[in-house]
Copies of this chain bind each other. A is one copy, B any other.
Amino acid sequence: MIAVDWGTSSLRAYLLDADGTVLEQRRSDQGVLASAGRFAETLGELVGEWPGHVLLCGMVGSRNGWIELPYLPCPVGADELAAAMRRHQDPRLPGRELWFVPGVATDAERGTPDVMRGEETQVVGLISALGAGGHSVCLPGTHSKWARLEQGRIGGFVTVMTGELYALLRQHSLLGRLMSGDDAEFHPQAFIRGVERSGEAGGLLHHLFGTRTLGLFERLPGESLASYLSGLLIGHEIRDRQPIGGTVHLVGSHGLAQRYAEALGLLGIGSMRHPENLAATGLHRLARVRGLALG
């Protein structure tokens, strides 16, 4: 089978054997935004000669995607997701069965919903490895997701805008003007100072301004201010959560997961890092639960 994790800005495809082992993988920057109106062509070009059914998760199943699937409500596990997958065929991909995974929504918080598409499948890929107890999973990114796992299902989750806010402040704010160097350059001491600052009185909206005054008063060099801001934001993100199970399971790119692991450690919370390609594992699991032919 073929597993496809198709997000807003990129696309990852995996060729899996019947046991779910990744035989080959390909990546493209033809995300949902770039592929609008030509999804079948994009997919055909990327995985053309690979055999098997195609399972897809992510924003490709949203209003701006290939076909739109509604959100399933929490709590939700592999059984509910597999049962709600939708089969689709496209004349431009003759002989292919496409199976789309729905997103997940939560609506417990007095009428302010939350949504995810794609991350639920990564979490499904993690669940079998973790066992049935209570677990906290964090998927850092532009919009980080924090999911609570309960008895092998997603009990609830929240989205946190840390990554987008960091980028906005870095590129467009008064704070960004004092920052020199590039973001890839990581300054651990400034990052730690930001995480520590997030625990003091005053609140995030006030703490942000300190990034400017620390620069103005030359208490932090310009090239370390971006790391300070990153620590400040991630520190607030983590302190606003209440992780269950004593350990946070991190799923994300190496550099970002490392920052979160460091911040969690500073706050006395353990963490464990997991591979980024959990979407393939999750899609394989959903195919099995649904009883699709995998060979």
Contacts and interface: CB of A to CB of B under 8 A. Distances in A.
A159 B216 CA distance: 14
Given A112-B214, A114-B210, A200-B109, A205 B168 contact: no
A294 interface: no
Interface in A157-191: 158-162, 164-165, 168-169, 171-174
A264 to B, nearest CB: 16
A209 B160 contact: yes
A233 B203 CA distance: 11
A72 interface: no
A157 B161 CA distance: 28
A134 to B, nearest CB: 18
A142 B196 CA distance: 26
Contacts of A112: 197, 200, 207, 210, 213-214
A80 interface: no
A103 to B, nearest CB: 11
A256 interface: no
Contacts of A214: 112-113
A98 interface: no
Contact of A208 (B109, B161, B197): B161
Contact of A173 (B158, B164, B236): B164
B114 A209 contact: yes
A95 interface: no
Contacts of A38: none
A112 B111 CA distance: 38
B168 A209 contact: no
A204 B206 CA distance: 12
Nearest to A216: B115
Contact of A203 (B169, B206, B236): B236
Nearest to A114: B213
A92 interface: no
A205 B113 contact: no
A290 interface: no
A233 B213 contact: no
A223 interface: no
Given A113-B210, A158-B206, A165-B208, 6 more contacts: A109-B210, A112-B214, A113-B213, A113-B217, A114-B209, A203-B240
Q: Which 7 A-B pairs give the minimum distances between C-beta atoms?
A: A203-B240, A112-B210, A159-B209, A113-B213, A160-B205, A161-B208, A168-B168
